[in-house]
Structure 1
């Protein structure tokens, strides 16, 4: 059975030329939404996903705007609202060393180099220069960990563990 990964949710249309507004959940939007790429739309009351081919992609404010081939009219895409865009596992590309997909990192247990458990990664933020991992501690408190070599010392996605060496002031 094929495993599927969310890349975004269609939240609305944009204009009249068939553009849809997507809240992206993908790690690599520039690559994932490239013209010619296939995405699969899962709708709440449909059994089978709808295969879509990206014709055009651009960003506007905090959204990714997509036009799909053959669907260049608002009337054809209005029904896609609230649909989830996914890709099959077979479409995930190989990553460079020290690159990870979000789904590989979220849920990892974070340890300090001393062996102390900090918590679990619950979310990944992408503010700019580097990703920031949100670690939820046992007490429910969140700690923000920058994904930089000075802090993140080891990532083992198979064991779902991360070892960090916090910089001064990071945990206070």
Structure 2
């Protein structure tokens, strides 16, 4: 499991007083209301920043960090990720997982055969879709419904799937 989770990316500066527009990479933009600290991944180092203020504009969260009061101090971080520790992450409901924890898990069929690995999770309107790279190098899409994704076991690093009729020819 990863220790740091991305909650957003600095898209642009906002005004001249050091505020930034953050494109959220979290399901709930309102999670920024309770954010006290975050970690800025500069590419070379990780800086812990204290959030001084939060407001919202269109699809962006506008953040002001304590001690950064000038556009010149923050502009160089455009395109950089904002991370939180697991302790500062939003609480998950039962049977929910962070996408970052699912990437790379081994995928097994309900018959116990190794099928491949989780390559990505696509978030769609109806349900998420697991992008699975099979052992033979083909990419398959499995909807995150109880008929397809039977079990996710993070401790074992495994996902159990049921291959529905018509998905592939075994």
Shorter chain as denominator, the TM-score bin is 0.7 to 0.9
- 1 CA distance for matches of 2:6 and 2:75? 20
- Structure 1 position 130, deviation (Å): 0.6
Instruction: Give the whole-Å Cα distance in 2 for the aligned partners of 1:15 and 1:31.
Output: 19
Partner of residue 20, structure 1: 21
**1:4 alignment partner in structure 2:** 4
In structure 1, stretches of 5+ residues that fail to align are none
Q: TM-score, normalised by structure 1?
A: 0.77
Preserved CA contact (<8 Å) 2:119 2:133 = yes
Match of 1:66 among 61, 82, 106: 61
Contact 1:111 1:162 in 2 (8 A): yes
C-alpha displacement at 1:29, in angstroms? 3.3
Once residues 69 and 166 of structure 2 are traced to their aligned partners in structure 1, the CA distance between those partners, rounded to angstroms, is 52
Unaligned runs of 5+ residues in structure 2 are none
Match of 2:141 in 1: 144
Mapped contact 2:4–2:85 kept (Cα < 8 A): yes
**Cα gap change, 1:31 to 1:83, in 2 (>3 Å):** same
Structure 1 residue 43 displacement after superposition: 1.7
Partner of 2:99 in structure 1? 102
Residue of structure 2 in register with 1:40 after alignment: 39
CA distance in 2, matches of 1:59, 1:72: 23
> Deviation per CA, 1:97-150, whole angstroms, max 9, x where unpaired?
211111221111111111222110011110211111111112221111111111
Q: CA deviation at 1:155?
A: 1.3
The question of whether the paired residues in 1 share the 8 Å contact of 2:14 and 2:62 is answered with: no
CA 1:121–1:59: 2 relative to 1, 3 Å: farther
Matched, 1:166 2:163: yes
Of 105, 121, 125, 1:128 maps to 125
**TM score, norm. by length of structure 2:** 0.78
